[in-house]
Amino acid sequence: MPPLRAFSYGGGVQSTAALVLSARGRIDFPAFIFANVGDDSEDPLTLDYVARYAKPFAAAHGIDLVEVRRDRRDGTVETLYGRLTREGSRSLPIPVRMANGKPGTRSCTADFKIKLVGRWLKAHGARPDRRAVVGIGISLDEIERVNKRRAAPYETPVYPLIGVGEETGLLLRRQDCERIITAAGLPIPAKSACWFCPFHRPSTWAEMRRDRPELFARACDLETLLNERRDMLGRDHVYLTRYARPLADAIPAAQAMLPIFDVSELDDAVCDNGACFT
């Protein structure tokens, strides 16, 4: 039997362009796997795009767009936000910023993205002697991210947008991906990530404060909750930005942002490729 072929879908620009290319027959991925870290955790814009545009488009073109979640043994669903806010929880699975501005350790990508896709692959026949071919949506302008993803024993990662891992004849940048999406009659998706991700650019936080103040306030409340627990444990505060200040104090609304705040070494820290920034 031919190896299982599936694309790790994140709901962002690159993986949506891959969905269009697969519908056109330019690349061959009959299944796209969207690991939903939680309806209370994913950016609402991403969830809306997947439901309103990506799933209908996939269905219309004979592509199976599968949504997977972290199921508990009792049948309930664990979400990333739920793990963070659970009563008595000491877990910090997201890369919160420490007092020096550097990110702490994280398990969110492994637990709520990679493992969920891997579980689906193994349930559909992937194993070390019959590895699944897993497409990752990385474009040419972020090619340095190719070497950051470690392959599991049951998979062979490939990067069809840039022809790495298998020859596709494609060398696409993000702008090319946007043109492909537009030509298919689809709107351009927002960058995908959890709404409380500490790897958001300052400009992303500022736009959220301006355009979605209720969501920004929820992020501030989450940061406060985490630090209240840190106080009880006698530990230093942590933050959702690199400025070592509470989110509400560190980030003004977008129209007040200084130009230098738009520059970040973490510009690629998004989940567009379906496995966050791995």
Q: Summarize pLDDT for 94-130 with one digit per residue, the tens.
A: 999 998 888 988 899 999 999 999 999 999 999 999 9
Residue 233: predicted pLDDT? 92
Number of H helices, E strands in the chain: 10, 7
- Structure-model confidence comparison of residues 88 and 29, the more confident one: 29
Contacts of 106 (CB under 8 A, 6+ apart): 93, 94, 95
pLDDT higher than 60, residue 256: no
Q: Summarize pLDDT for 98-107 with one digit per residue, the tens.
A: 988 889 888 9
Residue 45: predicted pLDDT? 97
Contact 149, 278 (CB under 8 A): yes
Domain architecture of the chain: domains with CATH = 5-78+107-183 (3.40.50)
pLDDT higher than 60, residue 147: yes
Label the pairing between strands 70-71 and 77-78.
Answer: antiparallel
- Find the helix or strand (DSSP H, E) in which 67 lies: strand 64-68
Nearest to 19, CA basis, from 186, 190, 269: 186
**pTM summary value:** 0.90
Contact 117, 275 (CB under 8 A): yes
